[in-house]
Structure formats: structure tokens, C-alpha cells
């Protein structure tokens, strides 16, 4: 197991190395990963059909499905704003 870590994009706490080993593309600690699930998740996965028919052919033949991962930027923005509001509340 690798002991590499990086900070959470929201709070700056170190992300658990085991979490990074399982989800190398994650940018959130466990606490914020749970919170972002309510906003649609950190990463959205969609399927893209592979077209194997000839270009210009009217017959559409599809091969497999390729997963396409996309970071949920809107959810990250909302989570960051929520975190900043919580920090302001604790400082008052």
C-alpha cells in the first residue's frame, strides 16, 4: 500500500491513503465525500456507446460501452460555499 496522500480540496485535511488507493481520482476526505453525495456525488460516471459501423452508413452498429468520468464541478462549488459558511458561523 502506498502512503501517498494529498489535502482535501474543501478543508485541507489529509485524505486517507487507503481512500486514495481505492479512488485515486478523489479530491475529498471521507467527511466531505459523504456530504457531496447529497449534491450528486464528486464524480459522475456515464456510458458512451462505441459505434463500430462505417462512416456514412445508415446501419448503426454499436460495440461496447466506454465509461466516461466527469467531475461534478457544480456540487464541488456548492460544498465549498457550504463549508465556508460553516467556518464563518463557528468564528462568530
pLDDT tens per residue across span 21-34:
999 999 999 999 99
Cell numbers 487507503 correspond to what residue? 18
Q: What sign does the dihedral 31-71-27-67 (CA atoms) show?
A: positive
- Secondary structure class of 64 (helix, strand, coil): strand
Q: How many CB atoms lie within 10 A of CB 80?
A: 14
CB contact at 8 A, 26 and 8: no
pTM: 0.74
Q: In this predicted model, what pLDDT tens digit does every residue of 33-89 receive, in sequence order?
A: 999 999 999 999 999 888 777 777 777 677 788 899 999 999 999 999 999 999 999
So where are the chain's domains? Answer: 17-91
Amino acid at each position: 500500500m502506498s502512503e501517498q496522500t494529498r489535502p482535501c480540496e474543501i478543508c485541507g485535511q489529509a485524505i486517507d491513503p487507503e481512500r486514495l488507493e481505492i479512488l485515486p481520482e478523489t479530491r475529498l476526505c471521507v467527511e466531505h465525500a459523504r456530504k457531496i453525495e447529497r449534491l450528486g456525488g464528486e464524480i459522475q460516471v456515464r456510458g458512451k456507446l462505441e459505434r463500430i459501423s462505417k462512416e456514412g452508413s445508415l446501419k448503426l452498429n454499436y460495440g461496447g460501452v466506454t465509461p466516461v468520468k466527469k467531475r461534478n464541478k457544480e456540487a464541488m462549488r456548492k460544498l465549498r460555499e457550504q463549508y465556508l459558511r460553516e467556518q464563518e458561523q463557528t468564528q462568530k
